[in-house]
Amino acid sequence: METQQRTAIVIGGSMAGLMAARVLADHFTRVVILERDVLSEVAANRKGVPQGQHAHALLGQGRRIMEQYFPGLTESLIRQGAPLGHGRFFSGGGYFVRHTQTPPTLYVSRPCLEAEVRRRVRGIDNVEVIDGCDVLGLVASEDCRRVTGVRLIRRSDGATAEVLPASLVVDASGRGSRTPAWLEHLGYAAPAVDLVEVGMGYTSRLYARKPDDLGGDLLINIAPTPENRRASAVLAQEGDRWIVTLAGYFGVHPRVDDAGFRDFARLLPTPDVYDLISHAQPLSDPVPFKFPANQRRRYEHLARFPDGLLVIGDAICSFTPIYGQGMSTAAMQVQALQECLVHGEANLARRFFRTAAKAIDIPWSLTVGNDRRLSGASQPAPKRLLNWYMARLQIAARRDPEVALAFLKVGSLFAPPASLLTPRMIVRVLRANLVRQGAGSPSLQQPAIGDRAETWRRQ
């Protein structure tokens, strides 16, 4: 089949779907995005992205990749009011050393980011968006060896099911993807699924933001610990707003009433979030969301898979949201798709799933490793030793800027976890902890927001 006759279908207008469509537009004559929601021309929350009302951050690695596909994206979002800068990370009993050597983070709401990317994708000549429709299933060749399109129905009065033919179908429909069931219907095995339970509940609320709030920082990220399974992300957004997300693991969930929201913040291991929301003007009611488990579908392990079909984004792997790695990991998967398409479409699914798995491995290991530590479940001796070391590394990051930088590079997906285990890093971590042991009780003195040194009592 000649290139000019080919159509690619993307199921889902998510961030992963939009980025995938951008890449596919370079290789197919026509790209069609199918989306259940009726899409707005402006930034707006939508039913298909319930997490869009909660804190989102575009990590440095994700922003770097997206800027390649959408040149000028960062500047456009900054013109719309999205701040670009750095924040503070709290873990292991204190704030990490402040520095600005990591690439700055773009602080933008999910609806604003998605609307800008969607506008750019819609502006591509060979991309079409069909919204307000449901995909009913896949269409395949008689021998089921190749997917040849999808069956869909538009959400309009009197609509009937129709078939949309395609040379390639990419499922970017999210965590609830129906591809496993569709595969079984075609006679294939569904992928094995890795689940790591977290029982997370989180609640978010918007507040008015003043320039001197948090000493001028744009972010506070408070990581949970086995002793305190509460976490928080406070991020600046366009419109001079804060979005404050409070989260808890294994049933320790924030309430959605005003008093319950503040009470949960009061029990965080630093008072900064509580102080902020006690004085800032609320702009919305608290909004809840629950996330049961990290989920990874192991498509790379399947022995058989039909041609003409791929799966991407949360439809492969979805993480605990508080780590903020979802959009950046999706961007890395789209980059893997681009690399595979450059080398042709022979054996595309196998090559893509293997390449995407490598991109997923690092954020998956970081997220799942920490979530398993928080669960308190028994772990083998090597894992216990690694957890012991990581706890000391986070203490060292409060004193040693090189350790803090190394940790944040890994968290931003710019460096592999192994970079934290080099001999030089181990020596610095142990040295910082020895100094700590001889320095009294530094856990009660935190480098505060804005580089002020304050002493506070845990509440």
All domains in the chain, ordered by first residue: 3-57+107-192+298-366 (3.50.50.60), 195-292 (3.30.9.30), 381-455 (no CATH)
> In terms of pLDDT, which residue wins out, 363 or 445?
363
* Whole-number pLDDT of residue 142: 96
* Whole-number pLDDT of residue 136: 97
The 10s digit of each residue's pLDDT in 225-259 is: 888 899 999 999 999 999 999 999 998 999 999 99
* Whole-number pLDDT of residue 48: 76
Are 283 and 308 spatial neighbours (Cβ–Cβ below 8 Å)?
no
Average pLDDT, stretch 166-173?
97
| 55 vs 59: CA distance, rounded Å | 13
The 10s digit of each residue's pLDDT in 178-202 is: 999 999 999 999 999 999 999 999 9
What value does the mean pLDDT of the chain take?
Answer: 89
> In terms of pLDDT, which residue wins out, 368 or 66?
66
> In terms of pLDDT, which residue wins out, 165 or 377?
165
* Whole-number pLDDT of residue 46: 81
Lowest mean pLDDT: which of 96-105, 313-322, 379-388?
96-105
Note the pTM of the prediction, 2 decimals.
Answer: 0.90
Average pLDDT, stretch 276-296?
94
The 10s digit of each residue's pLDDT in 393-444 is: 999 999 899 999 999 888 888 888 999 999 999 999 999 998 765 443 333 2
* Whole-number pLDDT of residue 58: 81
- On the CB side of 420, CA atoms within 13 Å amount to 27
* Whole-number pLDDT of residue 3: 42
The 10s digit of each residue's pLDDT in 326-361 is: 899 999 999 999 999 999 999 999 999 999 999 999
Q: For residue 384, is pLDDT > 70?
A: yes
Best CA proximity match to 183, nearest among 153, 152, 149, 147:
147
* Whole-number pLDDT of residue 43: 79
* Whole-number pLDDT of residue 453: 28
* Whole-number pLDDT of residue 34: 98
Average pLDDT, stretch 72-82?
95
Give the number of other Cβ atoms within 10 Å of residue 311's Cβ. Answer: 28
* Whole-number pLDDT of residue 100: 67
Give the number of other Cβ atoms within 10 Å of residue 342's Cβ. Answer: 10
The 10s digit of each residue's pLDDT in 144-168 is: 999 999 999 998 877 899 999 999 9
Average pLDDT, stretch 293-313?
97
Are 423 and 189 spatial neighbours (Cβ–Cβ below 8 Å)?
no
Residue percentage of the chain with pLDDT more than 70:
93
Residue percentage of the chain with pLDDT more than 90:
69
